[in-house]
Chain A
Amino acid sequence: MSRRGRLSLFAVAGTGLLAVLLIGFHGLPRFGDYHGIYGLLVNRVEPAQRRATDIVTALNFDLRAFDTLGEEFILFASVAGVAVILRHLRDEDQDLQRSQGIEDHRFAGASEALRAGSLVLIPLLVALGAYVVFHGALTPGGGFQGGIVLAAGPLAILAAGRYLALKRLAPEWALEALEATGGACYALIGLGGLIFAGVYLRNFLPLGDSGQLLSAGMMPLNSIAVGLEVTGAFLLTWTEFLDQALVVRRGELRR
Protein backbone atom coordinates (compact mmCIF):
# COMPACT_ATOMS: atom_id res chain seq x y z
CA MET A 1 0.00 0.00 0.00
CA SER A 2 1.28 3.44 -0.82
CA ARG A 3 2.13 5.88 1.94
CA ARG A 4 -0.76 8.13 0.98
CA GLY A 5 -3.21 5.23 1.00
CA ARG A 6 -1.94 4.14 4.38
CA LEU A 7 -2.33 7.62 5.89
CA SER A 8 -5.83 8.20 4.52
CA LEU A 9 -6.91 4.80 5.84
CA PHE A 10 -5.51 5.86 9.21
CA ALA A 11 -7.47 9.14 9.05
CA VAL A 12 -10.74 7.19 8.71
CA ALA A 13 -9.86 4.65 11.38
CA GLY A 14 -8.42 7.37 13.61
CA THR A 15 -11.71 9.30 13.65
CA GLY A 16 -13.56 6.23 14.86
CA LEU A 17 -10.83 5.53 17.38
CA LEU A 18 -10.98 9.07 18.73
CA ALA A 19 -14.73 8.72 19.34
CA VAL A 20 -14.23 5.42 21.16
CA LEU A 21 -11.37 6.92 23.18
CA LEU A 22 -13.48 9.88 24.29
CA ILE A 23 -16.40 7.63 25.27
CA GLY A 24 -14.01 5.37 27.14
CA PHE A 25 -12.31 8.18 29.04
CA HIS A 26 -15.71 9.59 29.92
CA GLY A 27 -16.52 6.41 31.84
CA LEU A 28 -13.35 6.45 33.95
CA PRO A 29 -13.45 7.55 37.60
CA ARG A 30 -12.32 11.14 38.22
CA PHE A 31 -8.61 11.37 38.96
CA GLY A 32 -8.01 10.90 42.70
CA ASP A 33 -11.56 9.70 43.25
CA TYR A 34 -11.13 5.95 43.11
CA HIS A 35 -13.47 3.74 45.14
CA GLY A 36 -12.57 0.22 44.04
CA ILE A 37 -13.16 -2.05 47.01
CA TYR A 38 -10.67 -4.73 45.96
CA GLY A 39 -7.60 -2.52 46.27
CA LEU A 40 -8.71 -1.20 49.66
CA LEU A 41 -9.23 -4.74 50.88
CA VAL A 42 -5.79 -5.83 49.65
CA ASN A 43 -4.22 -2.87 51.47
CA ARG A 44 -5.74 -4.11 54.73
CA VAL A 45 -5.30 -7.86 54.27
CA GLU A 46 -1.77 -8.25 52.93
CA PRO A 47 0.21 -6.43 55.69
CA ALA A 48 -1.93 -8.08 58.38
CA GLN A 49 -2.09 -11.66 57.11
CA ARG A 50 1.21 -11.96 55.23
CA ARG A 51 3.39 -9.48 57.21
CA ALA A 52 4.60 -7.94 53.93
CA THR A 53 5.21 -4.18 53.86
CA ASP A 54 5.40 -3.81 50.07
CA ILE A 55 1.81 -4.49 49.12
CA VAL A 56 2.55 -4.49 45.39
CA THR A 57 5.04 -7.36 45.74
CA ALA A 58 2.69 -9.07 48.18
CA LEU A 59 -0.04 -9.02 45.54
CA ASN A 60 2.39 -10.26 42.93
CA PHE A 61 3.65 -13.25 44.92
CA ASP A 62 0.57 -14.03 46.99
CA LEU A 63 -2.85 -13.15 45.59
CA ARG A 64 -1.67 -13.05 41.98
CA ALA A 65 1.05 -15.67 42.41
CA PHE A 66 -0.44 -17.87 39.71
CA ASP A 67 -0.51 -14.96 37.24
CA THR A 68 3.13 -14.35 38.04
CA LEU A 69 3.83 -17.97 37.11
CA GLY A 70 2.23 -17.27 33.75
CA GLU A 71 4.31 -14.11 33.43
CA GLU A 72 7.44 -16.19 34.07
CA PHE A 73 6.47 -18.53 31.26
CA ILE A 74 5.73 -15.60 28.93
CA LEU A 75 9.25 -14.31 29.54
CA PHE A 76 10.68 -17.79 29.06
CA ALA A 77 8.79 -18.34 25.81
CA SER A 78 9.71 -14.94 24.43
CA VAL A 79 13.44 -15.47 25.05
CA ALA A 80 13.15 -18.83 23.31
CA GLY A 81 11.36 -17.01 20.48
CA VAL A 82 14.13 -14.42 20.16
CA ALA A 83 16.73 -17.21 20.12
CA VAL A 84 14.82 -19.04 17.38
CA ILE A 85 14.27 -15.95 15.23
CA LEU A 86 17.92 -14.93 15.58
CA ARG A 87 19.25 -18.46 15.01
CA HIS A 88 22.31 -18.73 12.88
CA LEU A 89 21.46 -19.22 9.28
CA ARG A 90 23.26 -21.71 7.09
CA ASP A 91 25.43 -19.15 5.35
CA GLU A 92 26.43 -17.47 8.56
CA ASP A 93 29.43 -18.22 10.66
CA GLN A 94 29.94 -17.46 14.29
CA ASP A 95 33.36 -18.89 15.03
CA LEU A 96 34.75 -16.47 17.59
CA GLN A 97 38.36 -17.19 16.59
CA ARG A 98 37.78 -16.37 12.95
CA SER A 99 35.54 -13.35 13.47
CA GLN A 100 38.03 -10.64 12.81
CA GLY A 101 37.45 -7.34 14.51
CA ILE A 102 35.05 -8.63 17.14
CA GLU A 103 36.52 -6.25 19.69
CA ASP A 104 36.33 -3.57 17.05
CA HIS A 105 32.88 -2.34 17.98
CA ARG A 106 31.68 1.06 18.96
CA PHE A 107 32.92 0.89 22.56
CA ALA A 108 36.24 -0.79 21.80
CA GLY A 109 37.98 2.54 21.67
CA ALA A 110 36.78 3.18 25.19
CA SER A 111 38.93 5.58 27.16
CA GLU A 112 40.68 4.40 30.29
CA ALA A 113 38.24 6.46 32.34
CA LEU A 114 35.22 4.72 30.76
CA ARG A 115 36.80 1.31 31.33
CA ALA A 116 37.63 2.04 34.97
CA GLY A 117 34.18 3.56 35.50
CA SER A 118 32.46 0.49 34.03
CA LEU A 119 34.49 -1.84 36.22
CA VAL A 120 33.54 0.20 39.29
CA LEU A 121 29.89 0.04 38.20
CA ILE A 122 29.74 -3.76 38.06
CA PRO A 123 29.91 -4.49 41.83
CA LEU A 124 27.63 -1.53 42.55
CA LEU A 125 24.98 -2.72 40.09
CA VAL A 126 25.16 -6.30 41.35
CA ALA A 127 24.90 -5.15 44.97
CA LEU A 128 21.95 -2.86 44.21
CA GLY A 129 20.22 -5.59 42.19
CA ALA A 130 20.66 -8.14 44.97
CA TYR A 131 19.36 -5.60 47.49
CA VAL A 132 16.25 -4.91 45.40
CA VAL A 133 15.59 -8.65 44.94
CA PHE A 134 16.08 -9.57 48.61
CA HIS A 135 13.98 -6.69 49.93
CA GLY A 136 11.12 -7.29 47.52
CA ALA A 137 8.57 -7.89 50.27
CA LEU A 138 9.73 -4.90 52.35
CA THR A 139 10.47 -1.89 50.14
CA PRO A 140 9.76 -1.03 46.49
CA GLY A 141 11.28 -3.69 44.29
CA GLY A 142 11.11 -7.42 43.84
CA GLY A 143 12.35 -10.10 41.48
CA PHE A 144 11.46 -8.41 38.20
CA GLN A 145 12.91 -5.03 39.08
CA GLY A 146 16.03 -6.39 40.80
CA GLY A 147 16.62 -8.92 38.04
CA ILE A 148 16.96 -6.15 35.46
CA VAL A 149 19.49 -4.30 37.63
CA LEU A 150 21.42 -7.55 38.18
CA ALA A 151 21.50 -8.18 34.43
CA ALA A 152 22.86 -4.66 33.87
CA GLY A 153 25.94 -5.55 35.95
CA PRO A 154 27.63 -7.86 33.43
CA LEU A 155 26.45 -5.54 30.66
CA ALA A 156 28.84 -2.90 32.03
CA ILE A 157 31.65 -5.11 30.67
CA LEU A 158 30.32 -4.34 27.20
CA ALA A 159 30.46 -0.62 27.95
CA ALA A 160 34.12 -1.18 28.82
CA GLY A 161 34.60 -2.52 25.27
CA ARG A 162 35.08 -6.16 26.23
CA TYR A 163 32.29 -8.16 24.61
CA LEU A 164 34.32 -11.36 24.46
CA ALA A 165 35.04 -11.07 28.18
CA LEU A 166 31.29 -10.73 28.74
CA LYS A 167 30.67 -13.90 26.72
CA ARG A 168 33.35 -15.74 28.71
CA LEU A 169 31.93 -14.55 32.02
CA ALA A 170 28.33 -15.27 31.06
CA PRO A 171 28.30 -18.00 28.38
CA GLU A 172 24.96 -18.82 26.81
CA TRP A 173 24.63 -22.25 28.43
CA ALA A 174 25.09 -20.67 31.87
CA LEU A 175 22.47 -18.00 31.15
CA GLU A 176 20.03 -20.62 29.86
CA ALA A 177 20.62 -22.67 33.00
CA LEU A 178 20.13 -19.58 35.20
CA GLU A 179 16.86 -18.70 33.48
CA ALA A 180 15.53 -22.26 33.62
CA THR A 181 16.56 -22.63 37.27
CA GLY A 182 14.69 -19.45 38.21
CA GLY A 183 11.53 -20.55 36.42
CA ALA A 184 11.72 -24.07 37.87
CA CYS A 185 12.33 -22.77 41.41
CA TYR A 186 9.20 -20.61 41.22
CA ALA A 187 7.11 -23.57 40.06
CA LEU A 188 8.63 -25.79 42.78
CA ILE A 189 7.89 -23.21 45.50
CA GLY A 190 4.28 -23.40 44.32
CA LEU A 191 4.45 -27.18 44.61
CA GLY A 192 5.57 -26.71 48.22
CA GLY A 193 2.32 -24.86 48.81
CA LEU A 194 0.39 -27.75 47.28
CA ILE A 195 2.11 -30.30 49.52
CA PHE A 196 2.29 -28.40 52.82
CA ALA A 197 -0.70 -26.04 52.62
CA GLY A 198 -3.01 -27.91 50.27
CA VAL A 199 -3.21 -25.22 47.55
CA TYR A 200 -0.73 -24.56 44.74
CA LEU A 201 1.37 -21.42 45.49
CA ARG A 202 -0.27 -20.89 48.88
CA ASN A 203 2.12 -19.70 51.57
CA PHE A 204 3.53 -22.59 53.65
CA LEU A 205 6.48 -20.93 55.38
CA PRO A 206 6.50 -19.14 58.75
CA LEU A 207 5.57 -15.47 58.36
CA GLY A 208 8.17 -14.00 60.71
CA ASP A 209 8.12 -10.42 61.97
CA SER A 210 6.90 -7.63 59.72
CA GLY A 211 9.82 -5.60 58.34
CA GLN A 212 12.48 -8.30 58.83
CA LEU A 213 14.50 -9.57 55.86
CA LEU A 214 13.17 -13.10 56.36
CA SER A 215 9.47 -12.39 56.70
CA ALA A 216 6.28 -12.57 54.62
CA GLY A 217 6.57 -16.35 54.23
CA MET A 218 7.62 -17.56 50.79
CA MET A 219 7.77 -14.11 49.18
CA PRO A 220 11.56 -13.66 49.54
CA LEU A 221 12.07 -17.07 47.90
CA ASN A 222 9.66 -16.20 45.08
CA SER A 223 11.48 -12.93 44.62
CA ILE A 224 14.87 -14.65 44.33
CA ALA A 225 13.50 -17.22 41.87
CA VAL A 226 11.99 -14.51 39.67
CA GLY A 227 15.19 -12.43 39.99
CA LEU A 228 17.29 -15.35 38.70
CA GLU A 229 14.99 -15.94 35.76
CA VAL A 230 14.81 -12.27 34.78
CA THR A 231 18.60 -11.86 35.02
CA GLY A 232 19.16 -14.90 32.82
CA ALA A 233 16.39 -14.03 30.38
CA PHE A 234 17.52 -10.46 29.74
CA LEU A 235 21.24 -11.27 29.51
CA LEU A 236 20.35 -14.03 27.05
CA THR A 237 18.23 -11.66 24.94
CA TRP A 238 20.93 -9.01 24.90
CA THR A 239 23.58 -11.62 24.03
CA GLU A 240 21.48 -12.79 21.09
CA PHE A 241 21.18 -9.24 19.74
CA LEU A 242 24.83 -8.35 20.39
CA ASP A 243 25.90 -11.57 18.64
CA GLN A 244 23.99 -10.41 15.59
CA ALA A 245 25.79 -7.07 15.62
CA LEU A 246 29.28 -8.19 16.58
CA VAL A 247 29.88 -11.90 15.99
CA VAL A 248 27.70 -13.26 13.21
CA ARG A 249 29.21 -12.72 9.81
CA ARG A 250 27.88 -13.66 6.41
CA GLY A 251 29.70 -16.70 5.08
CA GLU A 252 30.84 -15.05 1.86
CA LEU A 253 32.51 -12.21 3.70
CA ARG A 254 34.63 -14.70 5.58
CA ARG A 255 36.05 -16.36 2.50
Chain B
Amino acid sequence: MTFFPYVVAGWLFVIGLWGVVSSTDLVRTVLSLTVVQSSTYVVLLAIGYRSAGKAPIVADIPAASKLVDPVVQVLVLTDIVIEATVTALLLALVVQAHKRFGSVDPARLRALRH
Protein backbone atom coordinates (compact mmCIF):
# COMPACT_ATOMS: atom_id res chain seq x y z
CA MET B 1 0.00 0.00 0.00
CA THR B 2 2.83 2.38 -0.74
CA PHE B 3 0.61 4.45 -3.02
CA PHE B 4 -2.52 4.75 -0.86
CA PRO B 5 -1.93 8.34 0.40
CA TYR B 6 -1.55 9.49 -3.20
CA VAL B 7 -4.83 7.83 -4.11
CA VAL B 8 -6.51 9.78 -1.28
CA ALA B 9 -4.91 13.02 -2.50
CA GLY B 10 -5.95 12.37 -6.10
CA TRP B 11 -9.50 11.55 -5.01
CA LEU B 12 -9.77 14.75 -2.93
CA PHE B 13 -8.45 16.78 -5.87
CA VAL B 14 -10.87 15.29 -8.40
CA ILE B 15 -13.94 15.31 -6.16
CA GLY B 16 -13.23 18.92 -5.16
CA LEU B 17 -12.84 19.93 -8.78
CA TRP B 18 -16.11 18.20 -9.62
CA GLY B 19 -17.73 20.20 -6.82
CA VAL B 20 -16.42 23.46 -8.31
CA VAL B 21 -17.65 22.58 -11.79
CA SER B 22 -21.05 21.15 -10.91
CA SER B 23 -21.96 23.60 -8.17
CA THR B 24 -25.11 25.69 -8.37
CA ASP B 25 -24.29 27.59 -5.21
CA LEU B 26 -21.26 29.86 -4.91
CA VAL B 27 -20.72 29.02 -1.24
CA ARG B 28 -20.50 25.37 -2.23
CA THR B 29 -18.05 26.33 -4.99
CA VAL B 30 -15.78 28.01 -2.45
CA LEU B 31 -15.98 25.05 -0.08
CA SER B 32 -15.19 22.66 -2.97
CA LEU B 33 -12.08 24.73 -3.65
CA THR B 34 -10.95 24.12 -0.06
CA VAL B 35 -11.39 20.37 -0.70
CA VAL B 36 -9.14 20.68 -3.78
CA GLN B 37 -6.60 22.52 -1.69
CA SER B 38 -6.68 19.96 1.11
CA SER B 39 -5.45 17.35 -1.38
CA THR B 40 -2.17 19.28 -1.48
CA TYR B 41 -1.75 18.76 2.28
CA VAL B 42 -2.04 15.02 1.84
CA VAL B 43 0.47 15.00 -1.03
CA LEU B 44 2.99 17.11 0.87
CA LEU B 45 2.76 15.11 4.08
CA ALA B 46 2.89 11.80 2.19
CA ILE B 47 6.02 12.86 0.26
CA GLY B 48 7.89 13.77 3.43
CA TYR B 49 7.08 10.57 5.32
CA ARG B 50 9.88 8.12 6.11
CA SER B 51 8.92 4.62 7.23
CA ALA B 52 8.74 4.41 11.03
CA GLY B 53 9.87 8.05 11.22
CA LYS B 54 8.67 10.17 14.11
CA ALA B 55 7.23 13.69 14.11
CA PRO B 56 9.99 16.30 13.92
CA ILE B 57 9.47 17.38 17.53
CA VAL B 58 12.48 16.42 19.66
CA ALA B 59 11.11 17.68 22.99
CA ASP B 60 10.89 14.18 24.46
CA ILE B 61 12.80 11.97 22.02
CA PRO B 62 16.53 12.03 21.22
CA ALA B 63 17.43 14.44 18.44
CA ALA B 64 19.20 11.61 16.60
CA SER B 65 15.94 9.63 16.14
CA LYS B 66 14.64 8.88 12.67
CA LEU B 67 12.39 11.84 11.87
CA VAL B 68 10.07 12.65 8.98
CA ASP B 69 10.82 15.61 6.73
CA PRO B 70 9.90 18.92 8.42
CA VAL B 71 10.18 21.06 5.28
CA VAL B 72 6.97 19.77 3.71
CA GLN B 73 5.18 20.23 7.04
CA VAL B 74 6.12 23.92 7.06
CA LEU B 75 4.84 24.17 3.50
CA VAL B 76 1.51 22.71 4.67
CA LEU B 77 1.34 25.44 7.32
CA THR B 78 1.85 28.08 4.62
CA ASP B 79 -0.72 26.30 2.49
CA ILE B 80 -3.32 26.48 5.27
CA VAL B 81 -2.74 30.22 5.78
CA ILE B 82 -3.17 30.81 2.05
CA GLU B 83 -6.31 28.68 1.98
CA ALA B 84 -7.83 30.64 4.88
CA THR B 85 -7.13 33.99 3.21
CA VAL B 86 -8.34 32.88 -0.21
CA THR B 87 -11.53 31.43 1.29
CA ALA B 88 -12.21 34.64 3.21
CA LEU B 89 -11.76 36.78 0.09
CA LEU B 90 -13.95 34.52 -2.06
CA LEU B 91 -16.71 34.38 0.55
CA ALA B 92 -16.62 38.18 0.79
CA LEU B 93 -17.13 38.30 -2.99
CA VAL B 94 -20.04 35.86 -2.64
CA VAL B 95 -21.66 38.14 -0.04
CA GLN B 96 -21.43 41.09 -2.43
CA ALA B 97 -22.65 38.98 -5.37
CA HIS B 98 -25.69 38.04 -3.31
CA LYS B 99 -26.37 41.70 -2.53
CA ARG B 100 -26.01 42.67 -6.17
CA PHE B 101 -27.93 39.85 -7.84
CA GLY B 102 -30.05 38.46 -5.02
CA SER B 103 -28.77 34.94 -5.71
CA VAL B 104 -25.70 32.80 -5.21
CA ASP B 105 -26.41 30.57 -8.21
CA PRO B 106 -23.63 31.19 -10.75
CA ALA B 107 -26.14 30.75 -13.58
CA ARG B 108 -28.15 33.70 -12.26
CA LEU B 109 -25.33 36.23 -12.08
CA ARG B 110 -26.61 38.24 -15.04
CA ALA B 111 -23.67 40.61 -15.43
CA LEU B 112 -21.29 37.69 -15.82
CA ARG B 113 -23.19 36.15 -18.72
CA HIS B 114 -22.41 38.77 -21.33
Q: What is the interface of chain A, defined by CB distance below 8 A to chain B?
A: 3, 6-7, 10, 14, 17-18, 21, 25, 28-34, 36, 38-40, 42-44, 46-48, 53-56, 59-60, 64, 67, 71, 74-75, 78-79, 81-82, 85-86, 89, 138-140, 144, 211, 234, 237, 240-241, 244
CB distance from B101 to the nearest CB of A (A): 14
CB distance from B93 to the nearest CB of A (A): 6
- The 10 tightest CB contacts between A and B, nearest first, are A39-B69, A78-B85, A32-B51, A55-B56, A53-B59, A85-B92, A47-B63, A55-B70, A30-B2, A10-B21
CB distance from A67 to the nearest CB of B (A): 7
Instruction: Knowing A21-B10, A81-B89 are in contact, say whether A53-B3 is a contact too (CB < 8 A).
Output: no
**B49 and A75 form a contact (CB under 8 A):** no
Task: Please count how many residues in chain B sit with their CB below 8 Å of the partner chain's CB atoms.
Answer: 54
**A42 and B58 form a contact (CB under 8 A):** no
Residues of A contacting B: mostly: helix
**B6 and A240 form a contact (CB under 8 A):** no
Give complex CA distance A55, B72 in Å.
12
Which of B5, B14, B47, B48 has the largest number of chain A CB atoms within 10 A? B47
Give complex CA distance A103, B79 in Å.
36
Residues of B contacting A: mostly: helix
Which residues of B (75-104) have their CB < 8 Å from a CB of A?
A: 77-78, 80-82, 84-86, 88-89, 91-93, 95-96, 99
**B95 and A241 form a contact (CB under 8 A):** yes
CB distance from B27 to the nearest CB of A (A): 12
Closest to B6 in A: A25
**Partner pick for B92 among A14, A74, A139, A240, CB 8 A cutoff:** A240
**B78 and A71 form a contact (CB under 8 A):** yes
